[in-house]
Structure 1
Amino acid sequence: MRVGTPGDETADGGPDRPVATRSAPRRIPSSRAALPWPDAPARGPAFPSRPALTRTSAVLTALLFGMITFVSAPDSPFRIVAPPAPPVAVEPAGLPAVPQVITEVRQNGTAGARTVALTFDDGPDPTWTPKVLDVLARNGAVATFCMVGTQIERHPELVAQVTGAGMRLCSHSRSHDESLATRPEPAMLAEITDVRDRTVNDPRADVRYFRAPGGFWSPVMLTDAATHDLQPLGWSVDPRDWKRPGADSIVATVQKNVHSGAIVLLHDGGGNRAQTVAALERLLPWLTSQGYTYVFP
């Protein structure tokens, strides 16, 4: 039989027959075996002989070498120009990270030590700030006082009393405006740095923090504070003493929620703080008995 590709016709003009496999040849019928088949044309060698191939390669090599020499010569009118390197991918610059409000003590001191940071807002107050300082001194405690600029203006002598007792200061804005985060940035910045500006002449004043009025922050406020070397300061324990819930409630809330590294929010200004002072008289001995030491945030 005739083995062909699909579409070829057989000698009798009929459709293609299946291609026979080499492993199972089929017999050609005698009637068809007598048909004359054209002789295949004689073919020459598929490739030139080795001597011819060697001569051809030598000629091509000489031509290629001559062309490279001509093109690369200093006085050649041609220049080999390498394709331009693909542009280096440049990562888009990321937005600067918004500074974080710290709500836990950053330095716990000795490994395994239990620490707590006490903070007092809205002072200085001529009645309550000295009383708070007295309780702290009797219990060997330190604290951070988040002062308001207008209160410093009214009672500048209390700043020296606080810093002289070894306490640290925190800016709590100039006017304690709880909408400060929504104000234009120049006004916001002036409020943020007010306390530090007012205490610049006190060599013991160490204003390292800024606490937003009411705890209301904005990304701009956080960034402005941090870029002026004021760490945004929050809290992790809030007995809401500003609402005057009673000394028992203040004590119970702190005892329930305090933990090593806690930052406790209390107040020495903004109203009558007799309950806060009474709560401190009980809290500080208890904290000491629980193994706490007093640190700055």
Structure 2
Amino acid sequence: MQKEQLLTRRRALLAGVAALGAAGAAGTAGLLFPGSSGSSGPPVRPAGPVAGSPARGALAPSAYRLRPLTGEGTPRAVPGPPRVRRAPILRMSGRGRTMMLTFDDGPDPRYTPHILDTLARYDVRATFFVCGGRADGNRDLLARMADEGHVVGNHTWTHPLLTKLSRRRIRAEMERTSDIIERAYGERPLWFRAPYGAWNRATFQLGAEMGMEPLAWTLDSFDWTEPPPVADAITDQVVGGAAPGFLVLNHDAGGDRSQSVRALRAYLPELLDEGYHLTVPRRSYT
């Protein structure tokens, strides 16, 4: 008798649960959710889950709009702020006799094509930190750099002393140059070099915001001095100071660079004969 009473009570409980479930389904059948149509009033959110709604613990539809998504599913983490360095990169990391040749202040149609010719002869890639004001009138040279595998970096528009400028003017110098590089070279620069090697907090912060790493140099060829040194002196400076991981500073504009052109023709084969591999910067070096 007692067993039959327990069974009867259990059947009643199950029937009650089923009735409640049916009532809940009927109560949500005509409700509209954010993004649906056909309602003149505000969207109503059901008290419980229904077909097509997020499962327990999932983000509501409005929450998904607060962060970027990768297709469907769990939203990816919001990217953190860009890394801001306190000092420029001075040398390459890695093994072997690897060096990097860099050329500042160009392009200049009197000298840059000859430098590109020498690099092509020895199948060597280099990095050119261009000034936007010169690049704007010599876009064909930036296009050639892209075609031949060289890297183009940002060296500001007018080559000013950035430490004397306001943050707004520094941004303008950098952004305008990145814009012209993108149009002529095909992509925005990933590397920035401050004119005269004069860095400050603003240059690091703004460069990071624009997706650029600050790249300086390890070995100065001193081809920028006045009067310009002869090619032999530049060659002795580069070959004598060469070491694995070094970044060499040269110039292909900003003055009479004929001796820089001649020096490259002399010291490049010497570096290669000594077993150096001349390359361009990659993010992995940093």
Fold match (TM-score > 0.5): yes
Contact kept? 2:99, 2:245, Cα under 8 Å: yes
Structure 2 distance, partners of 1:283, 1:129, is: 17
One-letter code aligned to 1:282 = A
- Aligned match of 1:186 in 131, 153, 168? 168
Aligned-pair CA distance for 1:198 = 1.0
User: Is 1:99 aligned to 2:81, yes or no?
Assistant: no
What is aligned with 1:155? 138
- Aligned with 1:170: secondary structure? strand
Decide whether the 8 Å contact of 1:164 with 1:204 is kept in 2: no
Shift of 1:183: 1.1
1:175 maps to 2:162: no
**Unpaired runs of at least 5, structure 2:** 1-82, 282-286
Shift of the 203–130 alpha-carbon distance from structure 1 to 2, 3 Å rule, reads: closer
**Counterpart amino acid of 1:227?**
E
Look up the SS of the partner of 1:142 in the other structure: coil
**What is aligned with 1:116?**
99
1:5 aligns to what?
Answer: none
Change (3 A) 1:103 1:245: same
Structure 1 residues 206 and 188, CA, compared in 2 at 3 Å: closer, same or farther?
Answer: closer
Query: Which position in structure 1 is the counterpart of 2:269?
Result: 285
**Match of 1:120, SS?**
strand
* 1:166 to partner: Cα distance: 0.9
User: What per-residue deviation string (whole Å, max 9, x for no partner) do you get for residues 187-206 of structure 1?
Assistant: 11111232221122356445
Q: 1:206 to 1:282 in 2, by over 3 A?
A: farther
Figure out how many residues of one structure are paired with residues of the other and give that number.
197
Hey, which bits of structure 1, 4+ residues long, moved more than 6 A?
Answer: none
Residue 197 of structure 1: SS of its match in structure 2?
helix
Q: Secondary structure at the match of 2:178?
A: helix
User: In the alignment, which of 202, 205, 222 is matched to residue 240 of structure 1?
Assistant: 222
Identity %: 35
Equivalent residue runs for 1:246-265 within 5 Å: 246-265=230-249
SS in 2 for 1:265: strand
RMSD of aligned Cα (Å): 1.6
TM-score (normalised: structure 2): 0.65
Change (3 A) 1:224 1:275: same
TM-score by length of 1: 0.63
For 1:262-273, what aligned pairs fall within 5 Å after superposition? 262-273=246-257
Contact 1:169 1:205 in 2 (8 A): no
- State the AA in 1 paired with 2:127: T
Unaligned runs of 5+ in 1: 1-95
CA separation of 1:181 and 1:273: change in aligned 2, threshold 3 A: same
Of Structure 1 and Structure 2, which has the larger fraction of its residues in helix?
2
Moved more, 258-267 or 149-158: 149-158
Choose 1 or 2 for highest CA Rg.
1
